Structure 1
């Protein structure tokens, strides 16, 4: 099984409803039947649906692309490109076409959020017990020491290679690579002439075109205080959507709760009123990078950030001071 990230590292609280496909409503005569594919990848599952005049089954090709992405970006593959870079002391020359685009987007999100998203957080991720080794922490983490190994400015790269400014810098793309995988598959479908689709990997989703005659893709967002129960549903039209949260992927040790979302600026695990952040963007890599950053930034800072980014929308679930579940939806979502 591919292992870009473990099952719980990307939280499966975002449900694809596909409400109209199975409620007995007949397809229009002119519609081609929906092609539906599903499988396992990157420690989770994927579901892909598309309209294709040729009714092609592209699962074999899609699975091959996803394996290649793992061989580039997965820290769970010992000889992947990112694993080789993490073990190296100097320069790494890219072998596959996926490393550089993720670095470029990571640089953008790092810069735009003032470091709230930082893929060099790997030493902290491992120290808290959420890396590939899955060694659970049993005591205090030496945050001050580990923060010396965190900082995206400690890597330099161009379109062909990457090198470390400081020894022992290591990358972790688990906060952005799954969204990127969705985009790669979406673009693969478009090269095949398919322009009506839904691609979902581990809850990260991108759609294009209408689902059916007069139908749109409909998704649901889970209530984090009642897992398995949906908080709301929304239409997703020619857009991508990803979610970050810490209410599933955590563990307890010696009376302390360890959460997988870590603030790269302080080295601390996030303990806030925010429970989940769902981001809507033109593509999934953008949504995936910003969802973790917004979780770290918190509700008010995210609101201020969105004032200058009309291309992004968010749906944030958080608890009020009296413990009640509250929701914030940005303006662009209110008619969806």
Structure 2
């Protein structure tokens, strides 16, 4: 983990493994460019085919650093950190507003199951930048007075607080957004066959090989490091929320990082992990956390009206055994 660049109170470690076929590309394929690095408290892996065989790592690292300067709560001088200490903020970089707009959408569509104003609760439970572990019970009723996306107002130029001490935390959506920004950067360079992955959040375009789709593995939450299944990912993004990686124990209790912004409590449910497939990674990243909070049945009901989204949910059944729920749109990809 890189100190100072961590976004995630949600998923710090990758929940996916990109599976590379052993056979080499055919002679008609462009050579694959492979870039690896560290960013946002995790690692990134980017693969693409480029007629000009450009190595874009320097530019990609620069983009990621700029996103951090805007959205990372671990940087005291980032835009979001400065807004959290003030009453209003005028946007300086092009990254703040798009994340706010998507957050507003997911907040509204999920009736508050996703809410980036959850920062006071995140810190109280010991998952914030200060890393102060829980020593006393959290007064969630009091802290809930400081939570609520409706307590901010914004447009494309600036944001202001409608109630003092409201603070933002984009941990549940910023990493997916970063994947989209890098995907759009590659496309701006004329690259239309790529896989971008940051900390397990993934987006692809085009084919991996002339007759090969990108194939992604979904990790087994009960056996970290082992794959539960694989999926083809074609011109789409996928992200996961789960509570089995980022947690800690205090006074004999286990505390996980996913907090219900409507109750102020850390989520305890039968759901072990939620993988969301969407047209872009920011959408998948926002909804995976919301679905985890909503639970299995509410998520099923929600998806009946959202055919643009698919999910792969791992949960514990009434018999105590691990089970999965897979939307119809994904079954043909297995």
Tell me if TM exceeds 0.5: yes
Deviation, structure 1 residue 9: 3.6
Kindly indicate whether residue 94 of structure 2 is the aligned counterpart of residue 92 of structure 1. Answer: no
Q: Paired residue for 1:37?
A: 35
Deviation, structure 1 residue 157: 0.1
Deviation, structure 1 residue 10: 2.9
Deviates more, 1:321-330 or 1:114-123: 321-330
1:218 is aligned, of 199, 215, 219, to 215
Q: String of CA shifts for 1:281-332, please: whole Å, max 9, x gaps.
A: 0000000000000000000000000011000000000011222110000010
Instruction: State the alpha-carbon separation in 2 of the partners of residues 318 and 164 from structure 1.
Output: 38
Q: Paired residue for 1:47?
A: 45
Instruction: State the alpha-carbon separation in 2 of the partners of residues 320 and 7 from structure 1.
Output: 27
Q: Paired residue for 1:114?
A: 111
Q: Give the alignment's Cα RMSD to 1 decimal.
A: 1.1
Q: Paired residue for 1:82?
A: 80
1:12 is aligned, of 11, 14, 23, to 14
Instruction: State the alpha-carbon separation in 2 of the partners of residues 16 and 140 from structure 1.
Output: 40
- Inter-CA distance 111–7: structure 2 relative to 1 (3 Å threshold): closer
Instruction: State the alpha-carbon separation in 2 of the partners of residues 230 and 303 from structure 1.
Output: 24
Deviation, structure 1 residue 6: 5.3
Matched positions, count = 331
After TM superposition, the score normalised by the length of structure 1 is 0.97
Instruction: State the alpha-carbon separation in 1 of the partners of residues 8 and 317 from structure 2.
Output: 31
Instruction: State the alpha-carbon separation in 2 of the partners of residues 253 and 27 from structure 1.
Output: 51
Deviation, structure 1 residue 8: 7.3
After TM superposition, the score normalised by the length of structure 2 is 0.97
1:137 is aligned, of 128, 134, 138, to 134
1:57 is aligned, of 26, 32, 55, to 55
* 1:7–1:43 Cα contact (<8 Å) kept: no
**What runs of 5+ residues in structure 1 fail to find an aligned partner?**
none
Kindly indicate whether residue 147 of structure 2 is the aligned counterpart of residue 167 of structure 1. Answer: no
Q: Paired residue for 2:5?
A: 3
* 1:277–1:291 Cα contact (<8 Å) kept: yes
Q: Paired residue for 2:70?
A: 72
Q: Paired residue for 1:263?
A: 260
Instruction: State the alpha-carbon separation in 1 of the partners of residues 283 and 135 from structure 2.
Output: 35
**What runs of 5+ residues in structure 2 fail to find an aligned partner?**
none
Instruction: State the alpha-carbon separation in 2 of the partners of residues 310 and 8 from structure 1.
Output: 25
Q: Paired residue for 1:287?
A: 284
* 1:4–1:73 Cα contact (<8 Å) kept: no
